[in-house]
Amino acid sequence: MFLPLTGSWKNDVIAFIAIIYTWETYIKVRQYKKVCNSKIPKQLEKYVDEEKLEKTKAYQKDNHVFSFITDALDLIETVLMIKYNLLPYLWDVAGTVLLKFGYNSEYEILQSLVFIGLFKIINDIINLPQDLYHTFVIEARHGFNNTTLKLYIIDEIKTNLLLIAFGGPLISLFLKIIQWTGDNFYFYVWIFMAVVQLLMLIIYPNFIQPLFNKFTPLEEGELKTKIEKIAADVNYPLKKLFVVDNSKRSGHSNAYLFGLGKNKRIVLYDTLLKQVNNEEICSILGHELGHWYHSHNIKLLIVSEVQAFILFYIFSCVINYTPLYQSFGFNVQPILIGFILFSFIFSPIDSLIDFTTNIITRKLERQADEFATRNLKRGDDLLTGLIKIHTENLSNLIVDPLYSAWNYSHPPLLERIEHIRKTQDSMGKKSE
């Protein structure tokens, strides 16, 4: 069995966390300086004035300062939790709670559920002020928050009820499969999680999301006709076309496709309809159709499943490694705790996996832009649509390369503009 670098798994994890925090803070500082010193890029001079630039800078600066503070608090919270053995203490508290109801330590799965519940309650209490401040101060200050306190509370209640209804049984099954299948549990857990993931592709958009938002069929008219035509042109099996009332919570905009097999749907945020014109909406959907055309979601799903298999296999190699549990203050070896501790020591590799995944997804985003530009001949409308969305959402207009490489799943706006124009040039069409 491999050994900790410092002689203690606990010290290793604290060191990993500190290194990742230092690195991410460094690149955030680089981006913050970029925001503070940014001027209107030449590519955006036709679309962005000084007033819009100053609004963007103010929004981004507020979010960065907020991130600096919350990241530091999260670091302190995590280090203290690990250093002072708060996890084994909380596990013992969960056991004490069960004893009051007549259940002893043999009921490991039940104790695991109580442990998760207690941990979530504590975590929610700690993070609630941060979330409230970001929603009702920062987002509201810059004109994005439309959420009322009543709606916020209702959303939290619904979310927690769903976590109890779905999360409890899923975690129980996850732990039970490991108990049932012995040393080869990694294969069976992997299959189980893959099935759950596929089921959620059906359950979430059809049953969960409607609990939070209203989905209204797009009214008959020019836009609907254009969207149906562009879908038909690429043989996309569009069955339903919805507008979702995102504006009741936020001023941010988006559009997406979902559905399995031949039951495909397109969803437009109502905020998007106010920000761009019909041709630009079609070009943005052309980009999304590019993802479907090139099977990007399937490719990413395969990558995700390979990663999950490797993760569960490595976990199977350390699940019974007693020194790991002892290093964090445990004198027992519950499965759930083993997975949590494993996630701690796996965190550096997980960060590198996220970085690699971002490289892959940025490549796929460029390919989808190419599809809308080359196959659908919508490069000009895609350019103006992307610019409007970025400027209306006060997104970063100028991005530090290191910050982008580490954090962004999409290429920054200026890179997308350059790529679309190069694609147009290769088609023999010069963009104005």
Is 258 part of a structural domain of the chain?
yes
Range of the domain at 266: 215-275
Domain count, the chain: 1
For the beta carbon of residue 73, count every other beta carbon within 10 angstroms. 14
| E-strand stretches of 290-424 | none
The gap from C-alpha 311 to its chain's centroid, in whole angstroms, comes to 19
Among left, alpha and beta (phi > 0; psi -120 to 50; other), residue 329 is left
Catalytically active residues are: 288, 369
What are 402's two structure tokens?
A: 């290191």
Please give the pLDDT value at position 7: 65
Instruction: List the Cα angle 322/324/329 in 5-degree steps.
Output: 95
Q: Say whether 64 counts as a known binding-site residue.
A: no
Please give the pLDDT value at position 347: 87
- Find tokens 């209203």 and name the residue: 214
Q: Say whether 365 counts as a known binding-site residue.
A: yes
Q: Say whether 142 counts as a known binding-site residue.
A: no
Nearest to 142 by CA among 248, 213, 68, 54: 54
For the beta carbon of residue 327, count every other beta carbon within 10 angstroms. 20
Are 14 and 83 a contacting pair, CB within 8 Å? yes
Instruction: List the Cα angle 411/145/212 in 5-degree steps.
Output: 90
Is 142 part of a structural domain of the chain?
no
Indicate the pairing of strand 264-269 with strand 238-244: parallel
How far apart are alpha carbons 11 and 347 in whole angstroms? 14
How far apart are alpha carbons 120 and 368 in whole angstroms? 38
Please give the pLDDT value at position 421: 94
Are 16 and 24 a contacting pair, CB within 8 Å? no
- Find tokens 């999360």 and name the residue: 167
Is 359 part of a structural domain of the chain?
no
215 phi and psi angles, rounded to 5 deg: -105, 115
How far apart are alpha carbons 427 and 418 in whole angstroms? 14
CATH number at residue 228: 3.30.2010.10
Is 348 part of a structural domain of the chain?
no
What are 218's two structure tokens?
A: 């797009």
Is 225 part of a structural domain of the chain?
yes
Please give the pLDDT value at position 2: 59
- The residues, ordered by sequence, that sit 6+ positions from 285 with a Cβ below 8 Å of its Cβ are 227, 230, 255, 257, 266
Per-residue pLDDT of the chain (432 residues; tens, 9 = 90+): 556 666 688 999 999 999 999 999 999 999 999 999 989 998 898 888 999 999 999 999 999 999 999 999 999 999 999 999 999 999 999 999 999 988 887 899 999 999 999 999 999 999 999 999 999 999 999 999 999 999 999 999 999 999 999 999 999 999 999 999 988 999 999 999 999 998 988 888 888 999 999 999 999 999 999 999 999 999 999 988 999 999 999 988 888 888 877 778 899 999 999 999 999 999 999 999 999 999 999 999 999 999 999 999 999 999 999 999 999 999 999 999 999 999 999 988 889 999 999 999 999 999 999 999 999 999 999 999 999 999 999 999 899 999 999 999 999 999 999 999 999 999 875 444
What are 122's two structure tokens?
A: 């504590």
Is 256 part of a structural domain of the chain?
yes
Is 255 part of a structural domain of the chain?
yes
For the beta carbon of residue 320, count every other beta carbon within 10 angstroms. 12
How far apart are alpha carbons 430 and 424 in whole angstroms? 6
For the beta carbon of residue 364, count every other beta carbon within 10 angstroms. 18
How far apart are alpha carbons 12 and 43 in whole angstroms? 46
Please give the pLDDT value at position 431: 45
| E-strand stretches of 263-374 | 264-269
Is 249 part of a structural domain of the chain?
yes
